[in-house]
């Protein structure tokens, strides 16, 4: 009994640390009058939850909505102050809902992913309360029903997978940090700190079994499924790292995809990413964070989740004109070239897209040089490897997009601070 109490206390302490102290040195937020606000009487609330909302001062008329959920022992306000989602919302103009769970699962404040009511669409408990919060944000602030997303850490990551399974018609994508697959917990007795089969390190089901659990959550649903981003530390023993693979198996089966990734890369040192794509794009991506324990999200991960969602900032009042910066000199026959267009802009920043073109012969690798006017800095890039600083950068292909067929093309994108002036481009291939 003494050993059990010590294990229980250790688990509670670790989960509370995950819920309350993640990324304590959060990003410095720009000066703003926006603040976290509690909302009462937001609608049907069978889970007895609390709702807080963060609405940035600068936002479009129909802002995206992100539901950000804490870990066990935490709260919405604590997750707001210890994570980077609000500071990213200031930059990109989306609303963040911070629910606070009140369920008692041994040590309190865990999102209900174990009860039969919570496993049924419209069945009650926390999932219905969360949907009421989303509906409130849409009604009160004009939130875009076509841009609603879920994310969370530990218990909140578990609920992220839960909401994507139960309400695929509401959520367009989700990012689960240190979560477990939908329907992993058999019941309340199987939830920590009891002897959980789900998080005990021995959970192993087939992809079809996991996929069937999601399909049975909303029988007959034939619409588009939300895209899924999964994060886990390789040294996480509280929610064992192998559960990342079980989650991958669940969602790739739901999308009818192979268990073999279509691409792998390392966007940042220690961030090993696997992507699973169909003809319409990446449906599932999974990050293995080397050496990390039960401590996610850490710095930069909130921004990566928001980029995966496709939230890139308040849209301009009128669509920006596409601009093209041709190579400094016409490429010889068969060489590569590059063209640029601005996808969107907002005060102090913009999103750009570069298309790499092959000539009359195929490319086997490429490097694009981007020269910007002073005051521009690239802050994030995808589908390439970035080097350089200041106003001059080089972007090299990653493993899966270096081969470009004759007369074909591939695309990479980026976010940058600055005026949005088009870069001067060069393109070279080995």
DSSP string, 11-24: HHHHHHHHHHSTTS
> C-alpha 211: how far from its chain's center?
21
**Residues whose CB is less than 8 angstroms from the CB of residue 298 and which lie 6 or more positions away in sequence, other chains included:** 22, 23, 289, 292
State how far the Cα of 125 lies from the Cα of 145, in Å rounded to an integer: 22
Among candidate residues 75, 100, 129, 154, the one labeled active-site is 154
Cα-Cα-Cα-Cα dihedral of 15, 74, 284, 217, to 10°?
Answer: 100
The tokens describing 285, both together, are 């991506």
- Domains annotated for the chain, with CATH where assigned, are 2-309 (3.40.50.1820), 337-428 (2.60.40.290)
Half-sphere exposure of 167 (CA within 13 A, CB side): 27
DSSP character at residue 314: P
- Counting residues of the chain whose pLDDT is more than 70, the rounded percentage is 83
Angle at 245 between CA 12 and CA 229, to 5 degrees: 85
Half-sphere exposure of 353 (CA within 13 A, CB side): 12
What pLDDT shows up at residue 7?
A: 33
* H-helix or E-strand spanning residue 163: helix 155-166
What Rg, from alpha-carbon coordinates, does the chain have? 22
What pLDDT shows up at residue 27?
A: 32
Alpha helix (H) residue ranges in 256-334? 301-309
* H-helix or E-strand spanning residue 209: helix 207-217
Band of pLDDT at residue 264, cut at 50, 70 and 90: very high
Instruction: Identify the residue whose tokens are 């040192």.
Output: 269
Known active-site residue 154 = yes
pTM of the complete model: 0.68
State how far the Cα of 284 lies from the Cα of 103, in Å rounded to an integer: 30
DSSP character at residue 276: E
pLDDT in tens, 335-384: 899 999 886 666 677 777 788 888 888 888 999 999 988 888 888 776 77
**Mean pLDDT over the full length of the chain:** 84
- Higher pLDDT, residue 308 or 104: 308
């Amino acid at each position: 009994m003494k050993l059990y109490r010590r294990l229980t206390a250790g688990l509670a302490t670790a989960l509370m640390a995950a819920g309350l102290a993640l990324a304590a040195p959060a990003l410095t937020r720009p000066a703003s009058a926006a603040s976290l606000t509690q909302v009462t009487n937001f609608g049907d609330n069978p889970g007895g939850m609390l709702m807080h909302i963060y609405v940035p001062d600068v936002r479009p008329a129909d802002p995206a909505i992100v539901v950000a959920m804490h870990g066990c022992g935490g709260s919405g306000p604590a997750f707001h102050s210890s994570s980077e989602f609000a500071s990213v919302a200031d930059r990109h103009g989306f609303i963040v809902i911070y629910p606070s769970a009140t369920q008692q699962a041994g040590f309190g404040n865990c999102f209900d992913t174990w009860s039969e009511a919570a496993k049924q669409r419209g069945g009650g408990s926390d999932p219905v309360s969360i949907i009421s919060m989303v509906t409130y944000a849409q009604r009160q602030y004009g939130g875009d029903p076509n841009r609603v997303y879920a994310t969370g850490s530990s218990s909140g990551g578990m609920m992220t997978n839960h909401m994507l399974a139960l309400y695929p018609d509401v959520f367009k994508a989700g990012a689960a940090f240190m979560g477990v697959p939908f329907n992993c917990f058999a019941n309340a007795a199987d939830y920590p700190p009891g002897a959980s089969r789900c998080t005990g390190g021995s959970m192993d089901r087939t992809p079809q079994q996991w996929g069937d659990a999601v399909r049975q959550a909303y029988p007959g649903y034939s619409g588009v499924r939300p895209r899924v981003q999964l994060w886990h530390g390789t040294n996480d023993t509280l929610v064992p790292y192998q559960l990342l693979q079980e989650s991958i198996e669940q969602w790739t089966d739901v999308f009818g995809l192979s268990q073999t990734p279509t691409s792998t890369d390392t966007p940042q040192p220690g961030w090993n990413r696997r992507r699973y794509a169909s003809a319409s794009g990446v449906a599932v991506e999974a990050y293995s964070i080397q050496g990390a324990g039960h401590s996610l999200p850490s710095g930069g991960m909130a921004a990566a989740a928001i980029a995966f969602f496709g939230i890139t900032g308040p849209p301009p009042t009128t669509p920006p004109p596409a601009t093209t910066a041709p190579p400094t000199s016409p490429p010889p026959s068969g060489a590569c070239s590059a063209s640029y267009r601005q996808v969107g802009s907002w005060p102090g920043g913009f999103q750009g897209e570069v298309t790499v073109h092959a000539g009359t012969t195929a490319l086997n690798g490429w490097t694009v040089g981007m020269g910007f006017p002073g005051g521009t800095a690239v802050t994030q890039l995808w589908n390439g490897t970035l080097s350089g600083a200041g106003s001059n950068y080089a972007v090299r292909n990653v493993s899966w997009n270096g081969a470009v067929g004759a007369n074909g093309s591939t695309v990479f994108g980026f976010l940058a601070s600055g005026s949005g002036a088009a870069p001067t481009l060069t393109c070279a291939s080995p």
